Amino acid sequence: MKSFAMLAVLAACEAPAVVAPTPAWIADTSTFTPGGQESAALVDQYRGVADKIIAYAHADRGAYAKLSTLTDTIGHRLAGSPELDKAIAWAAQAMKDDGLDVHTEKVMVPHWVRGAESGAILTPTARSLHLIGLGGSVATPKGGITAPVVVVHSFEELAKKGEAVKGAIVLYDVAMPAYTDADGAGYGTVVRYRFGGPSAAAKLGAVGAFVRSVTAHSLSTPHTGSTAYADNVPKIPAAAVSVEDAELLDRLSQRGPVTVHFELDEQQLPDVESANVIGELRGSDKPDEVVVIGGHIDSWDVGQGASDDGTGITMMMEVLRVMKQLHLQPHRTIRAVLFVNEENGVRGAKAYAEAHKDELPKTVMALESDSGGFAPQGFHVAGVDKDATARITNRVAAIATLLGAIRATRVRSSDEAGTDVDPMKAAGVPQVGLWVDGRHYFDYHHTDADTLDKVDPQELADCVATVAVIAYIAADMPDRLDAK
């Protein structure tokens, strides 16, 4: 759901034409008739084991129990924090306790630390702002910044402001589209202002940058997230303001000059050592062939990191436990990877792809969940090219017909299946993402509201069932998902 591929576009500090990809192919497979004898045989072969997995996982609450421990006793887990270290140790021990083969793999991660933050409108009316620093932001000078606000609604409008931006705080008041089932929440259409907005404003002489929080719904809650500074452009302090405050500043600016003061006491410290956590269920006779299932263990330093991405890692941990409990051992190895540093660097994903580059030709699927543990809908699929995507999609669609009991029967193709599995794509690894009902994900994404109470135990259990079915079949079926 959160792509860092666009970061490269920001080096020139211009307005990147980033648009959320519209799925090229969407199907509800609840009435799907498998195409060809191969698909029909696949469905017939695995119907019994799929029903067994679904029945067990649907009634299981192991993932929710793990999530409760993670969120309530450890909490949020930003890269470089003591909480992340605790989460890594906890996850490794939990999987060992479940009888799995477990190890960690060293990853050096960035260490950005949030300090005291505040903001207020000074004129034409005095009131505080709901504000949060963007991840990676530099600090304000001692005593903060007081400056006029220039409101823009696009990069094109920013360029037209020209000299008016010099010495000002630029506010990007760009509304995020509401969720639609066809194209997601429109995240990609607005997150570019958070990534590249500060440097684009600095290039024109701005002294600070605000972005409207990346959400379609708000209760005066600001949303953090990474920003990226371009080379050869001054680094200016950057923060998100709540939707309500962004709209207020916009309205006030239409009446006349607006002055704001804000302070951020952030620090960028040297990189520190962290780790990916890896648990395995070894294959019976093809252990060197691997199915990867994963999510990211880090989170932002607000809330509890429950939906982003505590649900993702705990469902993958529980998938392996469920298979152990059901005495299921597929031909290939199923490997749960809890990637570190997805939120502000993707170092874990890149390190995994590099460390396992010799294995990638034999990695038959990489599946990711990073959209919350909501009711599963099915899968989105990405291959290295159009033909590979079509082959993978056809086989995944056949597998999805086995998930009718939990209504996770939908399949769509996409350009990307997940940020943490994407580095494996160049090696030809088939990519699959868990598709969930994401209507409320961005309501509390990257905020203090990302807490355990937003997670429904039954929906999370059904996510476990959905992933377990496809992971088992991909690990056990005669051919790869992308076999010609």
CB distance 138 to 236 below 8 Å = yes
C-alpha to C-alpha distance for 206 and 225, rounded to whole angstroms:
21
C-alpha span between 48 and 433 (Å, rounded): 24
Catalytic residue at 342? yes
State the angle between helix axes of 386-400 and 36-59 in degrees (0 to 180), rounded to the nearest 10: 50
CA dihedral in degrees (333, 336, 341, 343; nearest 10)? 120
Distances (CA, A) of 345 to 58, 107, 296, 298, 374: 35, 11, 12, 11, 26
Out of 263, 266, 289, 342, the active site residue is: 342
By the 8 A CB rule, do 439 and 179 touch? yes
Task: Name the region of 95 (left: φ>0; alpha: ψ -120 to 50; beta: rest).
Answer: alpha
363 phi, psi to nearest 5 deg: -90, 115
* Active-site residue list: 342
